[in-house]
Amino acid sequence: MARPSQLYLLSYNSVQALGWFVALLRLLPCLAPPSSVHSSYAVAGDLTWAILETIHAAIGLVHTSPLLAFLQWGGRTHFVLAVVRQIPEVQSSPSVFITFMAWSISEVIRYSHYALTTLKVCPPWLTYLRYTAFIPLYPIGVGPGEMWTMYQALPFVKERKLYSGFFGKFSMSYHSFLVAVLAVYPFLWMKLYLHVFKRRSKLGKTGGAKKRA
């Protein structure tokens, strides 16, 4: 009989997989006329549903670093709510479409893998896809996606003195903060990227050991 924690994780991951799949289905028509990649934000909305993953990691419900879970959630939430939502001029940028597509594809795979692994019925091909698809998808989502969008937002942030009331308390501007974020973003992202590569490597060793057994 499944434990309550397993049932909860199965439900959570299934709902997340379904949500990202719906977002992906709404994004795909943007590739064909009369729709456009410029409408991706309007059809996909605010894709920031993963705050619970930080809590899951913190309480030991899943074997994931709370810091890495927080960095991923915090980075995406900042990108969507603080930048894209607040600056209409970047919402129609192809870089937003690239970001949302990369996120949606990778998360449909990831959450489907988590849900089926909880049931112990995950097919090998999905496990392979989980630890292979991220190799191109993560860099695409970060470089021409998130970072390019934030770079395009800089002039509008500076012109409108966005969040000046909050950042003024720290004797700095949000523009300076965003420049700093862009400077450290590759390094923070690389930490997450290498973490998944490490898990991929462990998976390969485990698979090899099973074949030899």
Helix (H, G, I), strand (E, B) or coil at 180: helix
Cα 198 vs. chain centroid, distance in angstroms?
18
* Chain segment 109-135, per-residue pLDDT in tens: 999 999 999 999 999 999 999 999 999
Cα–Cα distance measured from residue 82 to residue 162, given in angstroms and rounded to the nearest whole number: 9
Instruction: Work out the mean pLDDT of the chain and round it to a whole number.
Output: 87
Burial of residue 140, with CB atoms counted within 10 A of its CB: 0-12 exposed, 13-18 middle, 19 or more buried: middle
Two structure tokens written together for 198: 């490490």
- pTM value > 0.85: yes
| pLDDT value of position 213 | 29
* Chain segment 140-149, per-residue pLDDT in tens: 999 999 999 9
Two structure tokens written together for 18: 């379904």
Cα 36 vs. chain centroid, distance in angstroms?
22
Contact assessment for residue 204 and residue 128, using Cβ atoms and an 8 Å cutoff = no
Predicted confidence band of residue 183 (pLDDT cuts 50, 70, 90): very high
Q: How many domains does the chain have?
A: 1
Q: From 27, 70, 20, select the one nearest 47 (Cα to Cα).
A: 20
Q: From 144, 172, 170, 173, select the one nearest 161 (Cα to Cα).
A: 173
H helix runs in the chain, sequence order: 4-27, 40-44, 51-58, 66-77, 88-91, 94-118, 124-130, 134-140, 148-160, 164-167, 174-212
- For 174-178, what is the mean pLDDT? 97
Helix (H, G, I), strand (E, B) or coil at 62: coil
Known catalytic residues?
Answer: 138, 146
Task: Tell me the backbone φ, ψ of residue 71, rounded to 5 degrees.
Answer: -60, -40
| pLDDT value of position 210 | 42
* Chain segment 15-57, per-residue pLDDT in tens: 999 989 988 998 888 887 666 666 677 656 555 667 888 899 9
Residue 101 sits in which domain range? 4-211
Cα–Cα distance measured from residue 47 to residue 19, given in angstroms and rounded to the nearest whole number: 9
Q: From 207, 82, 198, select the one nearest 134 (Cα to Cα).
A: 198
Largest CA distance in the chain: 64
Predicted confidence band of residue 209 (pLDDT cuts 50, 70, 90): very low
Above 90 in pLDDT, residue 154?
Answer: yes
Two structure tokens written together for 80: 């969507």
Above 80 in pLDDT, residue 73?
Answer: yes
